[in-house]
Structure 1
Amino acid sequence: MKQNSAAVEELLSVHRDQVLAEWQAELTAGGGGRGLSSEIRETGELLNAILGGVRANGSTENFDDAAWSNVRGVLAQLSASRAAQGSTAADTSRFVLALKKPLFAGLQRKFASDAAALGESTWEVSSLLDNMAQYTVTTYQRSREEIIGRQQQELLELSTPVVKLWDGVLAVPMIGTLDSGRTQLVMEALLQRIVETGSALAIIDITGVPTVDTLVAQHLLKTVTAIRLMGADAIISGIRPQIAQTIVHLGIDLEGITTKATLADALSLALKRTGFVVTKGRPVAGGTLGLGAA
């Protein structure tokens, strides 16, 4: 800070315990308390970082100054932690703004007889804390976006499993909307499993895909092309009457690609292609199927 930095430095160092106590009391009164041990650590770390910035003569008008790098680091860590724990951006910002009252009170005690100095120092401290609060909101939002992105990726992976149905036969049950990102994920997972298992056939089941338009068809064609480039072949199952009509009306060309109405039909064809014959055995309790190599 350019002016009155000595007074603020004294407040943050000599009267540190008092400021911390008042800050924590303010947090508790405002409903922002998270537990004594965590708050003592967070408030202590942030107060030390602010003191370092004051001693380095950081400008309150430019929070990007190198003098405030430690403060930004502490705030970023604090925001990321609270975002992961489900706190809101308002709660995170309120944590910083709660420091205003203790600092203003300390400055008022220091400059009780000097209104001009009190006004200048109060303005500088207020500007700094406002910048800090705004920074926490920005970093909180970035952290939440990263968390949401990771969760979406995990959900995509869970919603597109590659299942080994039989020796040499893999299946990918598609559920929900098929977009570019999901197509890429399916393609990578499926191709990797083809390499790992040496499978010759992959069934792409779209029973759970609500609608098929030109874009979805293009994604399916890309996936089939990638499978064939790996030396395997693909069968698309789950072609319901409505989807068949839509494909015809849109003029989508699936020539050369084997399609089946159900996953069972696709599996039966896949077994035949891989040299297995499905036969019905003698009826027993619960029924049985016999599988033999051709």
Structure 2
Amino acid sequence: MSVVTNDEVRRELVEFLDQRQPDVVREWSLLRTFAEQRTVDAVGGCTELLNSLRRAARDGQEQNPAAAGFDDVRPMLRASAGGGASRRLDLLSLKEPLLRLWWEHRAGTPAVTDGALALSSAVDALRMVQLEEELTAGTETISMQRQQLTELSTPVIKLWDGVLAVPLIGTLDSTRSQSATESLLEQVVVQQAKVAILDITGVPTVDTMVAQHLLKTTMAARLMGVECVLSGIRPQIAQTMVQLGIDLGDLVTKASLADALSYALQKTGLAVVSADQG
């Protein structure tokens, strides 16, 4: 009884994938997973997937998702993952036509069973590559959305020439504090601001950590020559800060944003007066 070595199976597989490439690509391109793509796109995608399987089989790495043979196909799988469920490729459906053509090509030879197992493993590894790329794409999307939400939650608003406001809403953590500081300092330079108002009307609670974040932001702004005003201190927050012994130093505080704006205008040499007095 003859024994088929791994090298022999590998050579048989590479020869099969070379000779029957047009047949495999044609059958794959007719699968439902490629049905909504243009013919040229479907054929190109199928060819790229088949070439990746060939390289992995040639290197004896058909079971290894980290094999170099799968690297070239990663961008395509990442792109399909970013397109949602409608563009997601069903790679498991590639097995049936691929194995059928293999059995037809090598029926009755010692390599047929081992070759079928190797091809099945290669498709499984390709599927693992797809899952990795989907996970990476999902992680990147979440990170980008988190960054966008952070930027949206710490806007810098120009209230008047030389007067900026940073309305803070929700819990103020290290990430949001850093974002608020960076956005404020950037706009200080752009707007040539003289006064910046940090409004905490929308901050539910102020503890020692939140106070530290606010003080760091005001210190950074002062180094840029900007005076900061803290507004929106509700009675409950004021009482909590007193109980915690939080010292805001010489930071100017105002009960409301309107009071803070009035103070800021005075510091810039302006004042709001009634039209009856004009």
TM-score by length of 1: 0.83
Q: Which amino acid aligns with 1:36?
A: R
Say whether 1:268 aligns with 2:262: yes
Report the counterpart of residue 232 of structure 2 in structure 1.
238
SS in 1 for 2:167: strand
Shift of 1:265: 0.9
Report the counterpart of residue 112 of structure 1 in structure 2.
107
Report the counterpart of residue 225 of structure 1 in structure 2.
219
Report the counterpart of residue 64 of structure 1 in structure 2.
66
Q: How many residues align?
A: 272
1:128-185 Cα offsets, whole Å, 9 max, x none, are: 2212211211121112111221122122223322111112211111122222112111
Percent of paired sites with the same residue: 42
1:25-49 Cα offsets, whole Å, 9 max, x none, are: 44x1xx6744234433322222233
Q: Gaps (5+ residues) in structure 2?
A: 1-5
Shift of 1:23: 2.2
Whether the aligned pair in 2 keeps the contact of 1:11 and 1:106 (CA below 8 Å) is: no
Counterpart Cα distance in 2 of 1:3 and 1:252: 77
Report the counterpart of residue 154 of structure 1 in structure 2.
148
Q: Which amino acid aligns with 1:191?
A: L
| Structure 1 stretch displaced more, 1-10 or 223-232 | 1-10
Cα pair distance change 1:81/1:107, threshold 3 Å: same
Q: Where does structure 1 differ by over 6 angstroms across 4 or more consecutive aligned residues?
A: none
SS in 2 for 1:64: coil
Counterpart Cα distance in 1 of 2:44 and 2:262: 63
Say whether 1:11 aligns with 2:13: no
Describe how 1:81-230 pairs up with structure 2 within 5 A: 81-87=79-85, 92=88, 95-114=90-109, 116-230=110-224
Report the counterpart of residue 50 of structure 2 in structure 1.
47
Whether the aligned pair in 2 keeps the contact of 1:3 and 1:121 (CA below 8 Å) is: no
Report the counterpart of residue 285 of structure 1 in structure 2.
none
1:36 equivalent among 38, 60, 64:
38
Counterpart Cα distance in 1 of 2:152 and 2:34: 36
Shift of 1:53: 4.0
RMSD: 2.4
Shift of 1:246: 2.3
Whether the aligned pair in 2 keeps the contact of 1:191 and 1:227 (CA below 8 Å) is: yes
Q: Gaps (5+ residues) in structure 1?
A: 283-288
Cα pair distance change 1:155/1:127, threshold 3 Å: same
Q: Which amino acid aligns with 2:71?
A: R
Shift of 1:95: 2.5
1:211-261 Cα offsets, whole Å, 9 max, x none, are: 323222221111111111212111111111222222223222223111112
Shift of 1:203: 0.3
Counterpart Cα distance in 1 of 2:8 and 2:198: 69
Report the counterpart of residue 72 of structure 2 in structure 1.
73
Counterpart Cα distance in 1 of 2:212 and 2:255: 19
Cα pair distance change 1:42/1:170, threshold 3 Å: same
1:53-85 Cα offsets, whole Å, 9 max, x none, are: 44x43422444344x1xx2231x2123212322
Report the counterpart of residue 3 of structure 2 in structure 1.
none
Counterpart Cα distance in 2 of 1:83 and 1:112: 37
Counterpart Cα distance in 1 of 2:95 and 2:107: 17
